[in-house]
A and B are shown apart, each in its own frame.
Chain A
Amino acid sequence: MKLNKNYIQTFIFILVYLFAIYFWSQPYQERKLPYGEYDAMSHFEVADYMAYNDKSFQKLPPYIDLRYGLDNKFKPHTLWYPPPFHTSLGIIEVIAGDRVIPIFLLNTIMSTFVIISVYFVVNSLFGFLPAILSALLIIFSPRDFMPYLWGQWPERFAYAFVPIILYCFYKYLINYSKEDKKPTYLYLTALFLGINLLVHPLVFFHSILGIAVLYVFLAIKKKKIIFNWKHSLIAAIIFLVIFLLFPYQTFNVFSSLVGPSSDTEGKKSIDLLRLFQWSLNPSDYAGSVPPSYFSFREMHGLWTLPFLLIGIIFLVLRREERDVFLIAWLVSLYIALHRDIFGITFFLHRSLSATAHIFAPLTAIGAVYLANAVKLPSNYNKYLKYMIAAVFVYLALSINMASASKMLNKNTYNDFFGTLNQEEYEAAQWVLENVPQSVNVTVLGIPYQSNVLSVTSKKIRWFAAVSQHVTRFYYYLENKEEVLKSKEWYVMLDYTMLPALKDVETFNNMQKFESEALANHTLAYNKNNIRVYKLAK
């Protein structure tokens, strides 16, 4: 009977998780075209290059190097992230036999993996109901899906490791006193910690803080310092082996930390009043992150606040070992979010995106255990618990899902100016297959005026990502005449956007350019209102 119950619970979670995949994958379900900000392009480029060219690489190809050549301060012009994350995307591209959907779908799976991690950990420690309610809340967490949409892909996946690392460390600590010590969990902690660093260094920092706070809190709780030389030495060796797998990238973490920061966050003044706030000041991030990102109401729904507070109070009062686990996780994130007090300011707002991972379980626990606050006869407490859970689900769907659907839907990034259309994607694919790798492409027809340039630049960059060639606006070339005389440059005329813009002037100018400036060129591609010319021999 118990087995059946476990199956049913797992089955329910699988349905919830599949819904998460459906919900998060909406932007590419119908269009099947790549989308996202510059970060998304870079991750796509690295993964796709390996899969398409059937080789790993250390030195960046020119179209990636143009923007990311100096991002690795320790070893410039090489990968700036450790490669496992992108290699996974590349492997799936190879196995699935397609360039766009596999990369984007696996990224969705990895970005939503924190839902699996949180469910697994909360289910193991607190049972099914808090776990499934936590999972449901995280699906609709904008602080999770907004960075995912913007392109902070490895970071999203890296956060899935935090609960797992803390869980393994917790299991080691609580089993230590028992006759049958289980160092396996410490070794797993070290292994996951090393992997966490390979996926994203910022989140590794979160995990380290979590481990430190959990260790101290459990030591106080158990009134005992737990330390074993042999276990610790083996764990350290495991971590070091993983750490040294990709030295160019892992040592870049330190180079980035000690090097001069161009991040404007570093220049902010320190406000001690922030110790009494969870979130950050939206005005400090104006222009880069929307103000709603810093609002509890917008990100979690105000209805979750009472449950969250009840959850925290309940755990602090009860203080069982598993309660200490969640409190330590919460406190470690608080410290991570207030590291600016100690002068560590970089990527502060990105740490905020981990909030739902701990707020959701606390909120769910607050809701579930609220039923125990009053003593009722017979099974009424149980019925009350399920009633509160039903209200919880209703509010999550009617408020959080409704709000999330406005930001994440099938039209997200269906951007005329910034995202490649089908015709442009096909032309980029043609360039990839037919144009020598050393050749660059310059483009006319995509609007370049200052009022749209910040958006249309993304289209140019996506064209570079898909075509695997350096691609630039013709208008912004410094050496136009030389380019037109060079065999190392192809010229692309993109007429696909002009009809919608009713831009007759640009159309006429491009026609004139074709007949005059490209008189010595040969038409190499002519399809779907896109033409590509190369210099005649």
Chain B
Amino acid sequence: MVFLLITVLITLVFSYILFGVTGIRVVLGVIFISSPFYLMLNNFELTEGEKFVFSILFGLTLFSALVYLLGLVISFRIAIIATFLVFIIAAFLIRKYKPKKQS
């Protein structure tokens, strides 16, 4: 966790130096749309590297796919929040109902 925070901090500082507050918000945005998928993948037997890389790829595609579909009927901004909640809930449901592997 400490290592993760350090790397995120370095990335945020780097983004701030290049693009100011906008840069920071872009990085936080990527974390925001990827984090539900990290929580989902955390329920499977995957390595940390796999969870990290796959969750960003899912965030940049599946998250936005749902935002687009919801954005056809509701505000785009509200669709972003709704999508985040849907995927967070999905992550917790997977955690709750996925059969635990017996050791």
Identify the A interface with B (CB < 8 A): 7, 10-11, 14, 18, 21-22, 25, 29, 50-51, 53-58, 83-85, 87-88, 90-92, 94-98, 101-102, 105-106, 109-110, 113, 116-117, 120, 123-124, 157, 160-161, 164, 182, 184, 188, 192, 195, 198-199, 245-246
Contacts and interface: CB of A to CB of B under 8 A. Distances in A.
A97 B25 contact: yes
A14 B76 CA distance: 32
B61 to A, nearest CB: 5
Contacts of A25: 18
A329 to B, nearest CB: 17
Given A101-B22, A164-B53, A164-B54, A91 B7 contact: no
B53 A120 contact: yes
A157 B56 CA distance: 12
B29 A84 contact: no
B60 A101 contact: no
Contacts of B93: none
Contact of A164 (B23, B47, B57, B60): B57
Contacts, number: 141
B72 A58 contact: yes
Q: Which of B30, B49, B50, B61 has the most CB of A within 10 A?
A: B61
A73 B50 CA distance: 37
Interface of B: 3, 7, 10-11, 14-15, 18-19, 22-23, 25-26, 28-30, 32-33, 44-47, 49-50, 53-54, 56-58, 60-65, 67-72, 75-77, 79-80
A164 B30 CA distance: 19
Given A84-B65, A102-B29, A123-B49, A54 B76 contact: yes
Nearest to B80: A91
A499 B61 CA distance: 46
Specify the main secondary structure of chain A where it touches its partner: helix
A87 B49 contact: no
Given A55-B76, A56-B72, A198-B65, 16 more contacts: A21-B14, A50-B71, A55-B71, A84-B60, A84-B65, A85-B60, A94-B76, A96-B22, A97-B22, A102-B29, A105-B15, A157-B60, A182-B45, A184-B44, A199-B61, A245-B69
Given A95-B32, A164-B57, A56 B26 contact: no
Nearest to B70: A56
Nearest to B24: A96
B45 A50 contact: no
Contact of A54 (B7, B15, B61, B75): B75
Contact of A120 (B14, B49, B64, B77): B49
Given A7-B3, A87-B68, A96 B61 contact: no
